[in-house]
Amino acid sequence: MKVFERLSRLDRRVIFLLVALAVIVPMVVPLNLPVDITKPVKRVYEMVESLPEGSVVLISTDYDPGSEAELYPATEAFIEHCFRRNLKIYLMGLWPAGSELGNIALNKIAQVYNKKYGEDFINIGYRPGGAVMLLSLGRNFGDVVKVDYQGIPVDSFPLGRKVKSAHDLALVMTFSAGDPGILHWIIYFHARYGVPICGATTAIMAPQQYPYLSSGQLVGLLGGLKGAAEYETLVNKRGRGLRGMDSQSIVHLLLVGFIALGNVILLYQRRRR
Amino acid sequence: MKVILPLLIVFVCGFYMLITFFIPAKFAQSSAQMLQLWYQGVAAFFVFIGIFNLIKINVDRIQRRLKDWEYSIILLSFLGIMLGAGFIGGRDSRLFLYLFENFQVPLGATMFSLLAFFVASASFRAFRAKTPEATLLLIAAVLVMIGRIPLGYLLWHKFPDLVEWIMRVPNTAAKRGILFGIDLGLLSMALRVLLGIERSYMGGGEK
């Protein structure tokens, strides 16, 4: 069959073009597909809902612009949920660019909810040192965090004086794209100091976190853009997560189609031999 | 002495940190805390070493006119511009934020997004049921891909539950096995480093 022979030599640029169309078209013509809610995402939401007003949540944005498309929508949705519930936010990042991305989201949403810097939220910026830094942070917050991201002493803020050790934190939420990231928080922060950990990871990292979800070391998980879209649905906010799911749906279908076609060609080639 | 001194530092600091983990006494905890703070100081220097190394490699590339040396000029120029913007106006300045949001973020996102195109090409050419194991992997991958999108839910409302089961049971079992293997390897490597058997971190382990 000539068709299969031609397809087996298909120019990769044709595949690239189809992928580009599968991404762009649903952005121009939204399908508004409904998003189902999975248990790991619901657990994050319920955890935030269960915290009393005024509790301090530490958000760690441990990613860079490469993972921004997947993790930034989740960051915004989670911050919005925290502010709605009148929780206090401590923002930091184990990756240099991550703390900047977190800062953008935090300032944007703080303005909407009229939250004050130093009282309702604080940004302590990029913290190098990975695992060792987390161990120190848990033991004595004050020794590790003396100034915020602009160099202002944290003790000069009401919220800065509130957190002295890991035990003053009600929850840690890490938006993680690799190392250092979610695993360090689970191993060095939860195991040692018992602080509940929730996470958001890229889709490719999500399967790695299931052993920790099963063991209870991780309370809940937002996996990739789908996790962000689910969280946006729960907090009733139509953001980039939900908008991106239309494109992701079509691209996934396209990939499944490519896999099927590739295997049909394989079968055909085998029979010919 | 050049070999013995680093080995001694690693041995003493490593085992001291290990021992203090089990000693709740104040002196042990505060000294461990101090060592950890020193480590953070050292870790901060990694950034400087990284920048220094980046400049050195790219200047060398430009001087020797190696392949694609023109890109090194662009990289070094933007490194200088970002550093300048950060030092002059601070991290909250309009210029720094403009450069970050309009250059660094889109460029970083573009690099990662290119993966989608290569994955699509690979799915067509490489993801094939050549063996029973490959077939199993392929079926699981297809199910997860469909179940993780809203269309999967529309096709069959139990699809997400099926995917959740795959992630929670077979995936977790396999991951646990892999994690145990990795962690046992890490433990043995840590002991080898602490005892001075593994010396490659000193640059080849020559005596």
pLDDT, tens digit, 9 for 90 and up, residues A206-215: 999 999 999 9
Lowest-pLDDT choice from A4-8, A24-28, A63-67, B48-52: A4-8
Closest residue on chain B to A19 (Cα): B117
Rg (CA), chain A: 22
Q: Which residues of A touch B116 (CB under 8 A)?
A: 19, 23, 251
pLDDT, tens digit, 9 for 90 and up, residues A151-206: 899 999 999 999 888 989 999 999 999 989 999 999 889 988 899 999 999 999 99
CA distance A214 to B169: 9
Q: Do A207 and B120 touch (CB under 8 A)?
A: no
Gap from B62 CA to chain A (nearest CA, Å): 27
pLDDT, tens digit, 9 for 90 and up, residues A56-83: 999 999 999 999 999 999 999 999 999 9
CA distance B97 to B82: 10
Q: Which residues of A touch B111 (CB under 8 A)?
A: 66
Under the banding of pLDDT at 50, 70 and 90, the label for residue B30 is confident
Lowest-pLDDT choice from A54-68, A209-223, B109-123: B109-123
Residue B19 CA, distance from chain mean position: 28
Task: Count CB-CB contacts under 10 A for residue B106.
Answer: 13
CA distance A52 to A48: 9
pLDDT of the residue at B207: 47
State the DSSP code for A167: G
Lowest-pLDDT choice from A88-92, B19-23, B95-99, B199-203: B199-203
Strands A171-176, A121-126: pairing is unpaired
Q: Tell whether B165 is within 8 A of chain A (Cβ).
A: no
CA distance A201 to A222: 6
Helices (H), A29-116: 39-50, 68-84, 96-112
CA distance A211 to A217: 9
Q: Do A65 and B120 touch (CB under 8 A)?
A: no
- Beta carbons of A197 and A219 less than 8 angstroms apart: yes
Q: Do A259 and B157 touch (CB under 8 A)?
A: no
pLDDT of the residue at A4: 79
ipTM surpassing 0.90, yes or no? no
Under the banding of pLDDT at 50, 70 and 90, the label for residue A229 is very high
Q: Which residues of A touch B141 (CB under 8 A)?
A: 259
pTM of the predicted structure, to 2 decimals: 0.89
Q: Which residues of B touch A97 (CB under 8 A)?
A: 100, 104, 108
